């Protein structure tokens, strides 16, 4: 079970320090936990979580090692900072910043080649689900990622469930996860309005291997509650 918190564009270094100190002092050590702060807060998180089992990941990475790519960060730079992994292909990147299946795959491969752990996001929009295209979209997005890798996990994040308070039913999540695993043999996290009160039933599905949590990962209480819901009893 892996619980990853995607902080999006929240928490600068000061708030990151406060959160990481609280997380370090919490009782979430029986489950794999990763936090994904904004770039400017990564060093603080790495420093404060050093010596714990809690990983620190970025929210994106470029596929080149270095070059004239203003505003981008390479996998080598993340490694130098002590960062453990990265998210790629989040739907907000696809929706607002022109990220495609192809660029997502390039980012994922470069990060894996550099030794980073990768959470690659896939998921259909509401329009695609209503149009009966969910399976085709997931097939296209997952196939584009290429081969399985021991450092690769996929996050199934139906776009209509992200930040909306709408969550996929456990059955619907299970169905999508089973499809993804039939295409790529990697662990699959669920993401989309995971909260303390719905985490346990989603995580209980046989093909749900953890969660990628956005909004509820910003408060220490809700995040640790979700981590506890994933802890084996
Ligand atoms: C996310 O950002 O990956 C996410 C799932 O957000 P939320 O939990 O807020 O829906």
Residue pLDDT, tens place only, 183-217: 999 999 999 999 999 999 999 999 999 999 999 99
Q: With pLDDT > 70 as the criterion, what percentage of the chain qualifies?
A: 100
Q: What's the whole-number mean pLDDT along residues 77-95?
A: 98
Query: Count of alpha carbons within 13 Å of 88, Cβ hemisphere only?
Result: 31
Q: What's the whole-number mean pLDDT along residues 12-22?
A: 98
Q: Which residue has the tokens 């995040």?
A: 223
92, 99, 157, 177: the active-site residue: 157
Q: What's the pLDDT score for residue 169? A: 95
Examine the pLDDT at 14 and tell me if it is beyond 80. yes
Q: Is the CB of 6 under 6 A from ligand 1?
A: yes
Query: Count of alpha carbons within 13 Å of 43, Cβ hemisphere only?
Result: 5
90, 124, 128, 177: the active-site residue: 90
Q: Is the CB of 215 under 6 A from ligand 1?
A: yes
> Do the Cβ atoms of 202 and 167 come closer than 8 Å?
yes
Q: What's the whole-number mean pLDDT along residues 169-190?
A: 98
Q: What's the pLDDT score for residue 128? A: 97
Query: Count of alpha carbons within 13 Å of 1, Cβ hemisphere only?
Result: 20
Q: What's the whole-number mean pLDDT along residues 138-157?
A: 98
Q: What's the pLDDT score for residue 230? A: 94
Q: What's the pLDDT score for residue 116? A: 98
Atom 6 of ligand 1, nearest CA residue? 214
Residue pLDDT, tens place only, 23-41: 999 988 789 999 999 999 9
Q: What's the whole-number mean pLDDT along residues 136-149?
A: 98
Beta strand pairing call for 210-213 and 152-156: unpaired
10, 121, 194, 195, best to mutate for ligand 1 pocket (most atoms within 8 Å of CB): 194
Q: Is the CB of 99 under 6 A from ligand 1?
A: no
Examine the pLDDT at 232 and tell me if it is beyond 80. no
Q: Please tell me whether residue 198 adopts helix, strand or coil conformation.
A: coil
Q: What's the pLDDT score for residue 19? A: 98
Contacts of 87 (CB under 8 A, 6+ apart): 4, 6, 36, 57, 58, 59, 60, 118, 119, 120, 121, 155, 212
- The average confidence (pLDDT) of the chain is 97
Examine the pLDDT at 100 and tell me if it is beyond 90. yes
Q: What's the pLDDT score for residue 231? A: 85
Q: What's the whole-number mean pLDDT along residues 71-91?
A: 98
Q: What's the pLDDT score for residue 29? A: 73
Q: Is the CB of 59 under 6 A from ligand 1?
A: no
State in Å: Cα 156 to ligand 1 middle: 11
């Amino acid at each position: 079970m892996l619980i990853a918190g995607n902080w999006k564009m929240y928490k600068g270094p000061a708030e990151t320090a406060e959160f990481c100190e609280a997380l370090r002092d919490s009782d979430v050590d029986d489950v794999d936990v990763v936090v994904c702060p904004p770039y400017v807060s990564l060093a603080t998180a790495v420093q404060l979580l050093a010596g714990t089992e809690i990983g620190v990941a970025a929210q994106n990475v470029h596929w080149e090692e270095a070059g004239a790519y203003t505003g981008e960060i390479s996998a080598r730079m993340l490694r130098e900072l002590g960062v453990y992994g990265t998210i790629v292909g989040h739907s907000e990147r696809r929706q607002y910043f022109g990220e495609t299946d192809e660029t997502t795959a390039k980012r994922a491969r470069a990060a894996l080649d550099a030794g980073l752990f990768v959470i690659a996001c896939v998921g259909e929009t509401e329009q695609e689900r209503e149009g009966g295209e969910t399976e085709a979209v997931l097939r296209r997005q997952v196939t584009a990622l290429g081969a399985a890798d021991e450092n690769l996990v996929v996050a199934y994040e139906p776009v209509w469930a992200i930040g909306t308070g709408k969550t996929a039913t456990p059955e619907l999540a299970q169905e999508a996860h089973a499809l993804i695993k039939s295409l790529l043999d990697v662990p699959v996290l669920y993401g989309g309005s995971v909260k303390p009160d719905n985490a346990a039933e989603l995580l209980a599905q046989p093909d749900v291997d953890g969660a990628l949590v956005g909004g509820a990962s910003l408060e220490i209480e809700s995040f640790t509650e979700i981590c506890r819901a994933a802890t084996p009893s």
